[in-house]
A and B are shown apart, each in its own frame.
Chain A
């Protein structure tokens, strides 16, 4: 144990380099900076827009419409110009974004049910996020105007009935069913909430796996390149301890690095996530459906995550043995990145349950798939696939550690490189 701790300390010291610290700090600052910009843009986009209106009709209906628009979170400003051309020129010069022109005879045409066009002008001055997201403002204004006028018309024709009852005689009472639990609520809101809560998990997992594996492979390659491995293999320490010390240290540093990256990422993406409404009503629905993670759920998820990391690290050790130098190591990491990316994208964009059996088997055979699938299964109460996934990862990890230890305990640790070199020739 004493020798193992000595080795573990050395491995950690070797991994915590100045470059690593700089890269972590830089990435964190970059994410924070991007998040800050994003936040400002989103705020600008969601702030109430000022709409300039030129009323050429000056009717009671046009005035009513203008007055009512203020209730739709819009700032209204009336332009006193003699015609359309003058209003457009003024808007152009004064950085006005939205201009609406209510034509002459607007009221007359509406009351005769002839339909009438309102000209709307959107002035594009940049292509930033706030500019693109405000492009829907005009549609929003037109629909608000239509609502005001149609309500008014209906009230005048059928004064005793609420216009909304006429326009929407059928209402939707939504229920969400998850397994055997039913709750009244919007499925869209429930899905959005679950998605917002689980979006971080695949990113965290992918980052830890890739980061830690890269560290192990690079550490192995460096040991070989500097011939420190040859020295290490001749000192009195169990070869299995060398394998485990490399895995543990890389896993530990990978975990810390991923944590720091995630803090930055959370700042960056936080603004999008905060957009998801979490009303008291939604919280109740989530609770009724059992869609929030319990302590037990977190533990199961943690075990699944931990085993996937161990599988990746043991695989990285074996690949590291093959790496002749740091350059080869950087190429070999793709053999871990690719099988990690597959379940990562699948978990985000599709549902494995809808796959054909052969496709499902391929996904299940990738050990890193299981924690990606675990969260969904925990929320849906499907514990059997999670258990099988955990058992499978334990098996894969045990096999990989046995292979790695055997390689370290034999000539292969040096010869595998020779054969690899020969193959490349």
Chain B
């Protein structure tokens, strides 16, 4: 299985509003694939559909060889999703939250222990994991959630604006975590409107605007194609 996600002619309507107008793309195994575009372009809708939260209005989506409409439960066993600006249960301690989430992925206490050890390594929160999440800063919460998303070694990790709302230092740390841990076999679908972040993280990029994918390629290919020095310039050229 070299293709982890295959999307063909995906459309999504909210009543009369067309959020996605027939997009197609695929994600290869071990690849970081990014959707970039302005607010309201359809990035989050695409991610939510692949994360089994929303159902497509039209089109075909296969995740890990499972049909999204027919077998969403199977897909959920092998993916993890981190929504934009997500929070965690404020009344739980960090370690309790990780343990709570880990128990959904394995009944074996040894596996759960491994997940937690991995999560501790990713989050690097030390003793603060024994404190209630309500006392965490935004950056700490984000690291905890990222650790939660990556600890079970999912085959596909979906990250929506992973550094949204974070300061420079925390953003850098989160990016490094993603880069470091995805190389262990997981594939990543991420969205951002921070083009520089995408250029740093992604293997391939899809440019999306008003529910349509305008172009797909590696950052290098796209920059060469549009004779641009960075992805921001590429995007400007594409939407022109």
Residues in A lying within 8 Å of B, measured CB to CB? 2-3, 6, 9-10, 13-14, 17, 225-228, 230-231, 233-238, 410-411, 414-415, 418-419
Residues of A within 8 A of B15 (CB): 419
Nearest Cβ in chain A — how far from B173, in angstroms?
Answer: 21
Closest approach, in angstroms, between the C-beta of A291 and any C-beta of chain B? 47
The residues in B between 87 and 101 inclusive whose CB is less than 8 angstroms from any CB of A are: 87-92, 96, 100-101
Which of A3, A10, A411, A418 is within 8 Å of B89, CB to CB?
A10
25 residue pairs from A and B, CB less than 8 Å apart: A2-B103, A3-B103, A10-B89, A13-B96, A14-B91, A225-B87, A226-B87, A226-B88, A226-B89, A227-B84, A227-B87, A228-B86, A228-B87, A230-B51, A230-B81, A231-B82, A231-B145, A231-B148, A233-B52, A234-B53, A234-B81, A235-B76, A235-B105, A411-B55, A414-B53
Contact in complex: B92, A10 (CB < 8 Å): yes
**Considering residues A2, A6, A225, A234, which has the most beta carbons from chain B within 10 angstroms of its beta carbon?**
A234
Which 3 pairs across A and B sit closest by C-beta, in order of nearness? A226-B87, A227-B86, A234-B81
A233–B53 alpha-carbon span in the complex (Å): 7
Question: In the docked arrangement, what's the CA distance between A238 and B83, Å?
Answer: 20
State the Cβ distance, A324 to closest chain B Cβ, in Å.
15
Main secondary structure of the interface of B (DSSP, over half): loop
Given the known inter-chain contacts A10-B89, A236-B77, please indicate yes or no for A230 contacting B103, CB distance below 8 A.
Answer: no
**Residues in chain B near residue A227, CB distance under 8 A:** 83-87
A14 to B133, CA, bound (A): 12
Contacts of B103 in A (CB 8 A): 2-3, 6
User: Is A231 within 8 A of B86, CB to CB?
Assistant: yes
Measured between beta carbons, the chain B residues less than 8 angstroms from A9 are 100
B113 within 8 A of A: no
A194 to chain B, nearest CB (A): 44
B interface residues with partner A (beta carbon < 8 Å): 14-15, 48, 51-55, 73, 76-77, 79-92, 96, 100-101, 103-105, 107, 145, 148
Known: A2-B107, A231-B82, A235-B101. A226 touches B92 (CB 8 A): no
In the complex, the answer to whether B54 meets A411 with C-beta atoms within 8 Å is yes
Most chain B beta carbons < 10 A, residue from A3, A6, A14, A411: A411
Cβ contacts under 8 Å, B101 to chain A: 231, 235
Query: How many angstroms between the C-alpha atoms of A10 and B101 in the bound complex?
Result: 10
* Residue ID in chain A nearest B160 by CB atoms: A230
Q: How far is the CB of A9 from chain B (nearest CB, A)?
A: 8
Q: Are B104 and A3 in contact (CB under 8 A)?
A: yes
Min CB distance, A327 to chain B, in Å? 17
Whole-angstrom distance between the Cβ of B5 and the nearest chain A Cβ:
14
B residues near A230, Cβ cutoff 8 Å = 48, 51, 53, 81, 83, 86
Task: Please indicate the chain B residues that have their CB under 8 angstroms from the CB of A236 in the complex.
Answer: 73, 76-77, 104-105
Task: Tell me the bound Cα distance from A415 to B17 in angstroms.
Answer: 12
Check A6/B104 contact, CB under 8 A, given A227-B87, A234-B52, A411-B55: yes
The docked-state distance in angstroms from the alpha carbon of A10 to that of B77 is 20
User: Could you list 13 further interchain pairs (A-B, Cβ under 8 angstroms) beyond the known A10-B89, A235-B105?
Assistant: A2-B103, A225-B87, A228-B89, A230-B86, A231-B86, A231-B101, A231-B145, A233-B53, A234-B51, A235-B76, A236-B76, A414-B53, A419-B15
Considering the complex, give the chain B residue whose CB is closest to the CB of A3.
B104
Q: Chain A residues with Cβ under 8 A from B107's Cβ?
A: 2
Contact of A415 among B14, B73, B92 (CB under 8 A): B14
**Residues of chain B contacted by A414 (CB below 8 angstroms):** 48, 53-54
Given the known interface contacts A228-B89, A233-B53, A418-B14, the answer about A6 and B82 at a Cβ–Cβ threshold of 8 Å is no
Q: Find chain B residues with CB under 8 A from A235 CB.
A: 76, 101, 104-105
Q: Contact: B73 with A234, CB < 8 Å? A: no
Shortest CB-to-CB span from A10 to chain B, Å, is: 5
> B73 — nearest CB in chain A belongs to which residue?
A236
Find out whether the CB atom of B92 lies under 8 angstroms from the CB atom of A13: yes
- Report yes or no: B81 in contact with A231, Cβ–Cβ below 8 A: yes
Evaluate contact between B91 and A234: CB separation under 8 angstroms. Answer: no
Residues of B within 8 A of A225 (CB): 87
Find the residue from B15, B91, B101 having the highest chain A CB count within 10 A.
B91
A233 to B79, CA, bound (A): 12
A10, A225, A410 pick with most chain B CB within 10 angstroms: A10
Which residue from B55, B80, B92 sits with its C-beta under 8 Å from A234? Answer: B80
CA distance A237 to B48 in the complex (A): 17
Q: Give the residue name and chain of the A residue nearest to B82 (CB).
A: A231
Contacts of A410 in B (CB 8 A): 55
Q: Do B76 and A234 touch across chains, with their CB atoms under 8 A apart?
A: yes
Please, which residues of chain A bring their CB within 8 A of the CB of B89? Answer: 10, 14, 226, 228
Tell me the bound Cα distance from A230 to B80 in angstroms.
Answer: 11
In the complex the two chains form, what is the Cα distance from A238 to B82 in whole Å?
19
A230 to B84 alpha-carbon distance, docked (Å): 10
In the complex, what residues of B have CB within 8 A of residue A233's CB? 52-53
Chain B residues with Cβ below 8 Å from A3 are: 103-104
* Cα(A415)–Cα(B48), bound, Å: 12
